[in-house]
């Protein structure tokens, strides 16, 4: 069986991470794969920096869903035969990829699409064109069913991370040295897109609330997006600009996560769950908004879940983890055990079963 992955690859913060994990885990199972993405995208750069053996990456000038410059290359990949003569399955990983795939993929080639968020999709009719939707949580599946997709057309495969391949805690980005901070400086770390749905202004408000009682704490955010200027402006207004560090896009964000004292996920986008899982696997205590699939990942006792849009509870949660190390250790032990249930190898095996079920019904 040959899998053709279609992904624009432009979402630096969270959307590309699951694609990389899945491709690597499927490669370990000797599944033939081709990755088609946009040239110079985050996904293109990640796979170029750390190539996956025996996986072809075709980076095309693909900027819009139906970019005519990308169509010849994509059509070639979709029509090519599997190396072993087996069937081909097309796996779209985002909405633009689904739009393109639904337009050009051959009728005899199954099409699946991943949905990694519990927010409503913008064009439900487009999602109904897929043979199967792979939702990463029951919350995401429930939203798709509420928008009219058939129950048999949506299956749940939980996300996964390569727990054995993650860096050691405190293992390597050197962010404290980069920022001129003392080696033991506590860091509240977040990864996001600096967009409205990531709720990063709550971090600024939380930093302000903790400025007096935890003056040594610094807040570090890796990511890009349209809210950078407004976040910096608000930090200046609240007098915490010296404690808030917006790093922009960085190489190997998992190494930054490994250096965190606390990992904070304040937003409403469960597609950032890979960073949450990686923090849990690395033994970094977490504070996260109780939204969508995040609740399903964290469970009862693997982290502090707080209401969305409540900076006071974010601040309280971070402060508690800083001043109650025994409590933080309890959460970390539970989180490590919980993260082991979301290993990338298990995720790949589940995806392969989905692909094979499509072939058996074709």
Residues 63-84: pLDDT tens digits?
A: 776 777 777 777 777 776 666 6
pLDDT number for residue 12: 59
Q: Are both 2-160+343-361 and 164-340 of the same fold?
A: yes
Residue 297 contacts residue 309 (beta carbons within 8 Å): no
> β-strand 111-115 against 88-92: which pairing, if any?
parallel
Ranges 163-172, 176-185, 187-196: which has the least confidence:
163-172
* Domain spans, the chain: 2-160+343-361, 164-340
Tokens (6 digits) for 251: 């190489």
Average pLDDT over residues 270-284: 84
Strands of the 187-192 sheet, one edge to the other: 244-248, 218-223, 187-192, 262-265, 286-289, 304-306
Q: Is the dihedral of CA 45, 104, 121, 5 positive or negative?
A: negative
Which of the pair, 264 or 71, is modelled with greater confidence? 264
H helix intervals, 260-310: 273-282, 292-298
The predicted pLDDT at position 167 comes to 67
Q: Which of 70-84, 130-144, 274-288 has the lowest mean pLDDT?
A: 70-84
Q: pLDDT at position 84, please?
A: 65
Spatial distance between the Cα atoms of 267 and 234, rounded to a whole number of angstroms:
18
Q: Over the chain, what is the mean pLDDT?
A: 87
What are the pLDDT digits (tens) for 220-229?
988 777 778 8
pLDDT, residue 195, reads: 61
Q: Which of 113, 98, 119, 112 is nearest to 270 (CA)?
A: 119
Convert the pLDDT of each residue in 13-36 to its tens digit. Answer: 566 888 999 999 999 999 999 999
Among 61, 3, 63, 79, smallest CA distance to 35 is for 3
CATH code of the domain made up of 2-160+343-361:
3.40.50.2000
The least confident of 14-23, 87-96, 192-201, 251-260 is 192-201
> Quick one: CATH architecture of 164-340?
3-Layer(aba) Sandwich (3.40)
Query: What pLDDT is recorded for position 169?
Result: 61
Read off the pTM: 0.89
Name the E strands within 217-341: 218-223, 244-248, 262-265, 286-289, 304-306
| pLDDT > 90 in the chain, percent | 52
Query: What pLDDT shows up at residue 71?
Result: 76
């Amino acid at each position: 069986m040959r899998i053709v992955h279609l992904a624009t690859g432009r979402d630096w913060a969270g959307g590309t991470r699951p694609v990389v994990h899945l491709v690597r885990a499927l490669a370990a199972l000797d599944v033939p794969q081709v990755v088609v993405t946009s040239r110079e995208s985050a996904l293109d750069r990640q796979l170029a920096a750390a190539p996956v053996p025996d996986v072809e990456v075709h980076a095309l000038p693909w900027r819009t869903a139906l970019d005519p410059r990308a169509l010849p290359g994509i059509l070639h990949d979709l029509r090519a035969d599997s190396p072993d003569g087996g069937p081909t399955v097309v796996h779209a990983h985002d909405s633009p990829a689904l739009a393109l795939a639904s337009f050009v993929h051959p009728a005899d080639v199954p099409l699946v699409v991943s949905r990694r968020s519990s927010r409503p999709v913008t064009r439900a009719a487009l999602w109904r064109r897929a043979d199967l939707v792979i939702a990463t949580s029951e919350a995401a599946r429930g939203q798709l069913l509420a928008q009219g997709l058939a129950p048999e057309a949506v299956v749940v495969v939980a996300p996964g991370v390569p727990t054995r391949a993650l860096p050691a805690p405190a293992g390597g980005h050197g962010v404290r040295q980069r920022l001129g901070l003392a080696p033991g400086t506590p860091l509240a770390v977040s990864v996001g897109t600096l967009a409205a749905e990531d709720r990063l202004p709550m971090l600024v408000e939380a930093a302000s609330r903790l400025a007096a009682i935890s003056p040594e704490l610094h807040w570090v955010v890796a990511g890009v997006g349209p809210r950078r200027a407004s976040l910096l402006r608000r930090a200046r207004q609240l007098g915490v600009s010296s404690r808030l560090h917006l790093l922009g896009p960085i190489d190997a964000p998992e190494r930054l996560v490994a250096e965190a004292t606390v990992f904070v996920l304040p937003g409403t986008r469960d597609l950032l769950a890979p960073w949450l899982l990686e923090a849990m696997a690395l033994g970094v205590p977490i504070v996260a908004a109780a939204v969508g699939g995040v609740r399903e990942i964290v469970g009862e006792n693997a982290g502090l879940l707080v209401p969305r849009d409540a900076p006071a509870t974010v601040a309280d949660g971070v402060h508690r983890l800083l001043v109650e190390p025994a409590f933080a250790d309890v959460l970390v032990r539970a989180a490590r055990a919980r993260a082991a249930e979301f290993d990338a190898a298990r995720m790949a095996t589940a995806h392969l079963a989905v692909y094979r079920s499509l072939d058996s019904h074709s």
